[in-house]
Amino acid sequence: MEQITACRVCRSPDIVSFFDLGRQPLANSLLPRPDEPEVFYPLSLRWCSSCRLVQLDHTADPKELFSSYVWVTGTSNTAQEYARRFQAELARRCPERDGYVLEIASNDGTFLAPFRDAGYRVLGVDPAQNIVRMAVSNGIPSVCAFWGNETAESIRKDHGPAHIIFARNVLPHVANTHEFVNGLKTCLRDDGILAIEVHYSKIILEELHYDSIYHEHLCYFTLRSLERLLNGYGFLVFDITTSPISGGSIVVYASKGERSEEPVVQEYRDRENRSGTNERKSWETFAEQSFRHREELLEMLRDCRQHGTVIGYGASARSSTLLNFCGIDHTMLPMIADRNPLKYKKYTAGTHILIENPDVAMKLNPHYVLILAWNFASEIMDFLEKQYGYNGHYIIPFPNQPLLRNSGQPFLSLRA
C-alpha cells in the first residue's frame, strides 16, 4: 500500500486530504473462516486543487485486488438488460462492422455478448483468471491480462486496431492511470470510438454515496477531471449518456479526431460549474454528512433489531465500506444473502458476516432486510417478494438518508 504524493491525473503535488474513513480491509477479500488473519489499510480521500480530481491517497497492489475476483456481471438482471441498451447506444454512434469490438475489464463477457449476437467480432481483456474462464465458456474470446502498454501492443499486433473500445467501471480502479489511457490510444483505430463509463462523482457527492469509496476505486471522476485526462492523450469527448449502474454513472464517448460535439457535453460542464461539484468545500461538506448518515443508519438498525430479525442482502464491494465504516458486524447482522455462488459460505472482510444463498438466508424469516446492494434495490425487492413471498420491511441506506420501506412499496429510483 503506497501513499500518493501527486494527483493521479494532472500530477500536481497540491492534493488536500478531506475525508478519512479509517483503516479497512480490501473490500472483496472475503474470508473462508471468520478467524482468518486480515490486513487493514488506510482508506481516505484527497482533492486536487488543479484538476479537481477526488482520489484515494493510497494505492493497493492491483494483483492482490484483481487477479482473482468475486464480482460477476451476469448475476445481475439489471446489468444484463443494460448490456443490450449499451450495445444499441454504441452501435448507433459507430454502425460500421468492419473491425472488432474490444472491452477492457470484460469480466464474464456480459457486455460483449450483445455485440457478438449482433454480428460483431469481439474480444475481451480481464486480469481475473477465474472470470476469464467463465467468459470463454460463455463464447466470448478473452485475454487474461492487466491492461497497459504491453497488453495493448500485443493485442494490436495479434488482432489489429479495434474499431470500438469500451471500458466500463474500470478506469477509476486502475493505478497506472496514464498507461491505461495510452494503451487505449494505441489500440484504437484512428476513425474508431472510445466509450468510458464511470460512476459519476457529481451523483456520489449529491446523493452521499460514500459506500462507493473502497480500495479498488482510486478515482472519482467528474467530466472536468475526466476530460483533463483524456485530452492529454488526444481524445476529444463528443457525447455523453447516462447509465443505471453503480447508483448513477455516465458514459463518455470520445474519438481521436474531432467530431461534432453534442450539446449535452457542454450542459454537463455548465451543471458542474453551477453546482460546485469540483470545489473543495462541496467535498468537505460531503464528509461531514457521511458521519451524520452513519449515526442515522445505526439508530435505525438498532431500532429494527429490537422488533425482529434483520439480515442483509448483497455482499458487494460497496457494502464492505458501509459495514466497516459504520461498525456493523456479525453481532448486529447474522447473515447476508447474495445470488453469486462464488461468495457462498464466506465471511465479509472486517465484519465477519456469513454470506449465504438467499434460500438459506430467508429461512431465518427476517422481519427486516438491509439492502446493502441498494443500487439494485428494485430488482432485489421484486425477487424476494416473488421468490419467497417476503412481506416484511426493507432498510435502504442510500441515496441520501436511510429509509425504511414496507414490502410491496415500489422503489422509485431510476438508477440501479
Q: Which residues pair with 394 in a beta bridge?
A: 369, 405
pLDDT of residue 414 exceeding 50: no
Residue 71 has pLDDT above 60, yes or no: no
Asked, for residue 237, whether it belongs to a domain, the answer is yes
User: What CATH number should be reported for the domain holding residue 62?
Assistant: 3.40.50.150
Q: What is the pLDDT of residues 28-68, one digit of tens each?
A: 899 999 999 999 999 999 999 999 999 999 998 877 766 55
Q: For 3-12, write each residue's pLDDT tens digit.
A: 999 999 999 9
The confidence band for 72, taking pLDDT boundaries of 50, 70 and 90, is low
**Threshold 0.85, pTM exceeds:** yes
Do both 203 and 258 map to the same domain? Answer: yes
Same domain, 136 and 168: yes
% of residues, the chain, pLDDT over 70? 95
Q: Confidence band (pLDDT; 50, 70, 90) for 247?
A: confident
Pair (77, 212) in one structural domain? yes
As for how many domains the chain has, the answer is 2
Which of 274, 299, 324 finishes a domain?
299
Which of these, 395, 206, 413, 416, lies nearest to 296 by C-alpha position? 395
How confident is the model over 103-132, as a mean pLDDT?
94
What DSSP string describes 125-150? EES-HHHHHHHHHTT--EEES--SHH
Q: What is the mean pLDDT of residues 256-265?
A: 94
The span from the first CA to the last CA of the chain, in angstroms, equals 32
Look at the block and give the residue holding cell 482508506.
43
Distance of CA 335 to the CA centre of its chain: 23
Shared domain check, 332 and 360: yes
Residues 67 and 180 in one domain: yes
Burial 309-332, CB ≥16 within 10 A → b, else e? ebbbbbbbbbbbbbbbbbebebeb
Asked if residue 416 belongs to a domain, the reply is no
Residue 1 has pLDDT above 90, yes or no: no
128/181 same-domain check: yes
At 180, is the pLDDT very low, low, confident or very high (cuts 50, 70, 90)?
A: very high
Q: What's the pLDDT band for 211 if we cut at 50, 70, 90?
A: very high
Percent of the chain clearing pLDDT 90 (strictly above): 84
User: Which domain, by its residues, includes 123?
Assistant: 1-299
The pLDDT, as a whole number, for residue 415 is 42
Q: Of 246, 280, 299, which residue is a domain's last? A: 299
Residue with C-alpha cell 442482502?
313
Within-domain flag for 180: yes
- Whether residue 193 has pLDDT greater than 90: yes
- 156 and 286: one domain? yes
Give residue 75's pLDDT: 61
Cis? peptide before 399, omega within 30° of 0: yes
Note the pLDDT of residue 134: 92
| Residues 25 and 91 grouped into a single domain | yes
pLDDT at 334 over 70: yes
In a domain, 326, yes or no: yes
- Position 95 pLDDT exceeds 90: no
Q: Which of 269, 299, 329 is the last residue of a domain?
A: 299
Q: How confident is the model at residue 80 (pLDDT cuts 50, 70, 90)?
A: confident
User: What is the domain-level CATH number for residue 383?
Assistant: 3.40.50.720
pLDDT bin (cut points 50, 70, 90) of residue 239 is: very high
| Mean pLDDT score of the chain | 93
For the residues 289-313, what does the mean pLDDT come to? 97
The kind and range of the H/E element at 268 are helix 263-275
**314-325 confidence digits (pLDDT tens):** 999 999 999 999
Question: What distances in angstroms separate CA 167 from CA 178, 198, 338, 339, one per listed residue?
Answer: 14, 9, 26, 25
Answer yes or no: do 238 and 371 share one domain. no
- 228 falls in which pLDDT band (50, 70, 90)? very high
33 neighbors 348 (Cβ within 8 angstroms): no
**SS3 state of residue 69:** coil
